[in-house]
Structure 1
Amino acid sequence: MNRYCFLILITLGVFACDTQLTPYMEQLTQWDKALENNPETIGDSLATLNVAKLNKAEKAYYYLLEAAVADKNLKQLKNDSTLLISERYYNSKKDYYALARTQYYLSKYQEDPQKIYELLKTAEINFEKSPKDDYHILGLIYYWLGQIQYKQINLSEAELYYKKSNQIYSKLKDSLYMVYSLRQLNRIYNKQKKYDLAKENTNQMLEIITYIDNKNDSQISELYASILNNQSFLFINTGNTDSALMASRKCISLLDNRDISIKSPYYLGIINVFRKKAEIDSCKFYGMKMKKAAEQENNLFNLANCYKNLSQISIEQKDYKQACVYNSLFNKLKDQINSNHEKEVLKELEQKYALAEKEKENLRDRNRSLWYFTISLTIALTASIVALYFSWIHRKLKVKNAHLSEEIAKTQWGFALSKELIADNSSAYEKLELLLTKNIKLIPDKVYYEFENSLKAQKEEYSQRLFSALTNIDNNFIEKLQYKFPDLNIDEVMLAYMLRHEWDINDIAQVFRITFEAFKKRKYRLKIKILGADNNKISLEDYLNKM
């Protein structure tokens, strides 16, 4: 029983050592926790680390954080090669949470909607396998799955994912991401003409964004402006032009006061309101602003809309020459847009159908997997009960055999060690050897451990006496060597001394009780420690002689 406990304690000790955080890993973990609030600072901190010094686990975590920082700062890495290293590592270690995070960031580097969808779905599955410590990443996965479906105009699937995302962020009380998911739901409701739901969502968004508004945060400011712009279109659709105008003006004023460039879609809302109010001069004023913004953005669609509006305004002002110019520019852009659109429309329809079918296939696979799992679990439980009995008997015999082998190995090891270390007491050694030989299978544990401790003490005394003798002979050299290379142990210092004083190889081997091959390996390791792996031009003996 004591032996079993001993083995269990050793196993737990090894496991604790394997899972203990290294200083680099502890630092990376702390940065990860601070990432949400200080992405720029964490990015600067990551830049100070020397990646070459990190082990595989630390590198995988480093590359994951590097991608997370870039994402938080609205930037991208040059490519996804480092993230692929993280994915391979976490996949091999079955770290499903880190794997889900990595695959989420990998999806940002794909252009094909099908590949993005597959990566995000894989990330979702891996998150479900994880301990589920942090649901924030799952909210992001759902949000971007919604974005993929929304772009393919699969509105019902997109709505489902946005709702899942919003539920997660509501539980986490993450106001900013709640607003993002609500804004996308609002756009779906507007397209579906569910104006009551859109109005309810808009009021909820405005309440949240007003509470978290920060004039110095451009991300929140632009989000606030987009909500006001959506509200303006909602009022236009419901026939409330006065409220629409108020919302549009507030949107433009907010960005203007905070010195943020105003996007062309924001001008479109206020132009539509002034057209309904028949205020032509205001339409033209904001139309020219929209034209300038669309040109800077290279937004051909909004630029075409702008020329169309300006053409109609010029006709109403009876400036037919200018109307022809704008109309000509509109037709030119329309042809260009249609040409590009015709090439992409079939591909978009195919992708839309593929993603919708993929979603249904995933649901079918999950239901099928659940059924198979139930049947497999029943069979597995029955088989395991039978297998466990036979496995228990086999394990008992195997453990017993292993213990016998271990006892023999320990005794033989102790026997060999005694030959090496007990040099000054040969008669006592011979008696001990004779005793061990006769009773090799009958040695009690207590006697064995006392014998082991005795050998250790003798070995330490032997090394210390020899080391003291060498120190007295060449004290300056040894002090200098230990000062310059503090990592060298006693045996390595003694070997360096012997090489410096040109000891015979056989004598060195006899002192250390090693073979010629073992001596060569020791000498090579010592050279690596002193001269480095790349320095082959200088011999170790020459270097030690010149010290």
Structure 2
Amino acid sequence: MGRDNLKVILMLFLLLWIPLSCDNEGERQTYIRLQQWDNQLGKYPETIADSLRKLDPRRLSPANRAYHGLLKTIVDDKTYTEFTSDSLISGVVRYYTKHRPGTDGHIRSLIYQSVVRYRMNITDSTVLLPLKKAEKMFSLQQKGDPSIAYLLNFFLGSIHEKNSNFTIAAEYRQKALQCAKVEKNPAHIFDSYLALFWNSLKLENLDRGKAYLDTLDAISPKSVDEDYFLLNAQSVYYATQKLYDKALEKEKELLGLVPLMKEKPDIFRMYYSIAEQYRYLGRLDSAMLYALKSIEHIPDSNYELNYLLYENVADIAEEQGDYKTANNYRREAALVHDKTIAKQKDIHILQLEKQYNHSEAENKALRAEAHARIAIIVILCLIILLILSAIYIQKKNNRVKFEKMEMEKEMRKNKQQQFTMSIYNRMLTQFFLIEKELGALANKERRLKPDFADFIEQLLKSMSKNLIDGFARDISGKKFEELTGISLPDDINKSELLMFFLICCGVTNSDMAIILRTSVASIRSRKNQLKNKLKESGINTSFFERVKTPSS
């Protein structure tokens, strides 16, 4: 290498080093600021949310960008923001896993990865696994932060409770309560006792639940939101004891707190509950008044349970002897129910997909900006590689090889399309036509023949399984390799086999969710699991990227 080339490289290093050394102090100050916001998250989440919005994560170092992403996720959770994607917190987890494993930041990011997926109503193992990883890491720390221990145990209790493991959930709730007492956090203590109360009701231990209620009532001072949650719990408890007058009293107190709350509850649910208490007390005129109010305050006309509000009015009218009104509202309930079912597959799923695509676009913009920050380093590396590297394979041979691969890909694609059409014809024709008719029949007969309706619902569930089993019978390992060019691993199950093939064929996440009868978020999670499984079997998974479409 000549002296002139050495001078060029030396100048490039100097040009890089000067701005990077200037950035170090700014990044250190940013980290201190993020730490200060972190300490204030519990008391002032809205204020911290505003501060985080003013800081552009694209201009931060990778470490501060990960910290910023963690704080934004926590703030979004505390301000009741709706999560449509877990891409931000998953990126944070990847950074801490690679660069700072086992730290408090790593453990917190795993906890909130589960929280985000839990809030997105994902129900598979991807919700529990990050928490279990965090629990194992935390156990290795000699003196762990009690606030992290509280979060870990509280959300583990939530996951188990959602899956009806109430005894295990109670154990985690107790651990969370002890951690909250150690950290002396009144809000966490209140939330722990409240969670233990609801858990006691599900375990049908009303005496213990009453003890928790009395403890909650004695806690002072309480925020408006905490007063609301306490009144709601008391109302439910009194209703279980058939003390409907006391339950009604608490329900009316709840209405007075609504204007003062940070997160506004659904008014229609409150009116519905008040109507129920009046109905139990035999005061049907008042019950009818609040039942009609519950319909007037429906916030989302596409909510799948709206029809129950109309049926409630019909039931009250029937008890009053007003059969004409009862029949009118039952017809209205049926229309609302049918409308909800008709829109469920297009409007709601389409909206979720649009929200996810919007989030993905934002993440791509962040990644592009990050790449620009290291562009000069990449250029330098390329220069060095060009100097030290030998000449690659001749262009002519590459062109011949590429053309051959393209021909094979085109032939494989044609075979895939033909085979995919047979799958779609079988699945979509059988599933959607029959499912619609059976679903309508089940809904129609639900009231008079619940056992028959349950049988139909079980039949609908078995249809999805039959579709998957039928596909597995139709395609052998040899056939799969012929259509995709990929050998099947031995430990792949039938559902994964179908998903594997659909991914190879370029089927979008939304279409895949309809075929497998699950959510788009669950499809993304299952694809990641399948990808990891294939990697473990030594299969090249690069096709996961090649087959992505704009709606995947």
Q: Give me the TM-score of the superposition, normalised by structure 1.
A: 0.52
Structure 1: 5+ residue stretches without partners: 1-17, 215-219, 352-547
Deviation of 1:168 after TM superposition, in Å, equals 1.4
Contact 1:229/1:266 (<8 A) preserved = no
Partner in structure 1 of residue 426 of structure 2: none
Matched, 1:152 2:146: no
Q: Specify which of 310, 313, 325 is matched with residue 310 of structure 1.
A: 313
Q: Specify which of 212, 218, 222 is matched with residue 212 of structure 1.
A: 222
Q: Specify which of 99, 102, 105 is matched with residue 106 of structure 2.
A: 99
Distance 1:21 1:133 in 2: 27
Structure 1 190/35 Cα, relative in aligned 2: closer, same or farther at 3 Å?
A: closer
Contact 2:174/2:192 (<8 A) preserved = yes
Question: What is the one-letter code of the residue matched to 1:180?
Answer: D
| Aligned pairs (5 A) from 1:188-227 | 188-208=199-219, 211-214=221-224, 220=225, 223-227=226-230
Deviation of 1:280 after TM superposition, in Å, equals 0.9
Distance 2:57 2:113 in 1: 20
| Aligned pairs (5 A) from 1:365-444 | none
Distance 2:461 2:285 in 1: 37
Distance 1:52 1:268 in 2: 47
Q: Specify which of 275, 282, 285 is matched with residue 281 of structure 1.
A: 285
Contact 2:157/2:170 (<8 A) preserved = yes
Distance 1:159 1:333 in 2: 39
| Aligned pairs (5 A) from 1:121-520 | 121-130=132-141, 132-208=143-219, 211-214=221-224, 220=225, 223-255=226-258, 260=264, 262-294=266-298, 296=300, 298-301=302-305, 303-330=306-333, 342=457
Deviation of 1:156 after TM superposition, in Å, equals 1.2
Q: Specify which of 26, 29, 41 is matched with residue 23 of structure 1.
A: 29
Deviation of 1:42 after TM superposition, in Å, equals 2.7
Where relative contact order (Cα < 8 A, 6+ residues apart) is larger, the structure is 2
Distance 1:98 1:157 in 2: 27
Deviation of 1:86 after TM superposition, in Å, equals 2.8
Partner in structure 2 of residue 38 of structure 1: 44
Structure 1 172/317 Cα, relative in aligned 2: closer, same or farther at 3 Å?
A: same
Structure 1 186/264 Cα, relative in aligned 2: closer, same or farther at 3 Å?
A: farther
Structure 1 236/154 Cα, relative in aligned 2: closer, same or farther at 3 Å?
A: same
| Aligned pairs (5 A) from 1:49-64 | 49-64=55-70
Contact 1:143/1:162 (<8 A) preserved = yes
Distance 1:237 1:261 in 2: 22
Deviation of 1:149 after TM superposition, in Å, equals 1.7
Structure 1 273/24 Cα, relative in aligned 2: closer, same or farther at 3 Å?
A: closer
Distance 1:288 1:245 in 2: 17
Q: Provide, for residues 400-421 of structure 1, a one-character-per-residue CA deviation record: whole Å limited to 9, x for no partner.
A: xxxxxxxxxxxxxxxxxxxxxx
Greater Cα radius of gyration, structure 1 or 2: 1
Deviation of 1:323 after TM superposition, in Å, equals 0.6
Q: CA RMSD in A?
A: 3.5
Q: Provide, for residues 222-251 of structure 1, a one-character-per-residue CA deviation record: whole Å limited to 9, x for no partner.
A: x43233222122112213233222222212
Contact 2:245/2:281 (<8 A) preserved = no
3-state secondary structure, aligned to 2:42: coil
Distance 1:53 1:315 in 2: 65
Question: What is the one-letter code of the residue matched to 2:244?
Answer: T
**Deviating more after overlay: 265-274 vs 115-124:** 265-274
Distance 1:114 1:226 in 2: 30
Contact 1:146/1:160 (<8 A) preserved = yes
Deviation of 1:117 after TM superposition, in Å, equals 0.8
Structure 1 160/293 Cα, relative in aligned 2: closer, same or farther at 3 Å?
A: farther
Question: What is the one-letter code of the residue matched to 2:197?
Answer: N
Deviation of 1:196 after TM superposition, in Å, equals 1.3
Deviation of 1:54 after TM superposition, in Å, equals 3.2
Contact 1:233/1:269 (<8 A) preserved = no
Contact 1:107/1:116 (<8 A) preserved = yes
Q: Give me the TM-score of the superposition, normalised by structure 2.
A: 0.52
Q: Provide, for residues 141-189 of structure 1, a one-character-per-residue CA deviation record: whole Å limited to 9, x for no partner.
A: 2222222222222211222222222221122222222222322222222
Partner in structure 1 of residue 78 of structure 2: 72
Question: What is the one-letter code of the residue matched to 2:104?
Answer: Y
Contact 1:97/1:131 (<8 A) preserved = no
Distance 2:50 2:337 in 1: 46
Distance 1:333 1:132 in 2: 56
Distance 2:83 2:310 in 1: 37
Question: What is the one-letter code of the residue matched to 1:292?
Answer: E
Structure 1 71/298 Cα, relative in aligned 2: closer, same or farther at 3 Å?
A: same
Structure 2: 5+ residue stretches without partners: 1-23, 342-438, 444-452, 465-517, 519-552
